[in-house]
Amino acid sequence: MTNIYDELRASHAKQRRLCSSMVRTLAGNPAKREALFRELRIELAAHAAAEERYLYVPILMFDMGLNSARHALAEHHDMDELVEDLRALDSSGEAWGPKASELVHKVRHHLKEEETKFFQVSGKLLSDAQKVRLAAQYRKDYERMVGVAAQR
């Protein structure tokens, strides 16, 4: 049975792949760079919305989960700001590459920290049944949010 962490790790793997692909295009084709950025932007938005609703909110209900959930939410906000900064820049301009590298660094840092710290804390707070139920809720909301994010 799939649990919330299995679902999140699958999205994390996709985010890592997109980040690596985007970094490889920094000196290359602006159109490909823009397409990869759009895919990453949609993935980040859908993942963050569903993760916040179906992992962070339940963890905020526990005193032991407050600090780590707040920290993770702040990192999501930082990534959202970087995405908006990138959207405002010309993908073929010289400012785009450093800003994209900053986003990639922040995404990689967040994923590593989440998998090595937050998952351990939250895993102690949630029952196995909750983890399975949250996975189904996350997946449904994630799929819906992909469509919402693609329209933005």
> Band of the pLDDT at 74, cuts 50, 70, 90?
very high
Q: Mean pLDDT throughout 70-84?
A: 97
Please report, as a single letter, which amino acid is at residue 45. Answer: A
Nearest to 54 by CA among 121, 138, 130: 138
Question: Which pLDDT does position 9 carry in this prediction?
Answer: 97
Q: Check residue 16 and give its pLDDT.
A: 98
Entry pTM: 0.95
Rounded to whole angstroms, the Cα distance separating 42 from 120 reads 27
- The first and second tokens of residue 140, run together, are 């449904």
Question: Mean pLDDT over residues 52-59, rounded?
Answer: 97
Angle ∠(108,4,138) on CA atoms, nearest 5: 90
C-alpha neighbours within 13 Å on the C-beta side of residue 132: 5
Alpha helices in 25-127 (DSSP H): 30-51, 57-60, 66-88, 96-113, 119-125
Q: How many residues does the chain have?
A: 152
Neighbours of 72 (CB within 10 A): 23
Dihedral of the alpha carbons of 69, 70, 72, 76, in degrees to the nearest 10: 130
- Segment among 24-33, 34-43, 127-136 with least mean pLDDT: 24-33
Q: Pick the closest to residue 85 from 41, 33, 124 (CA basis).
A: 41
Average pLDDT, the chain: 95
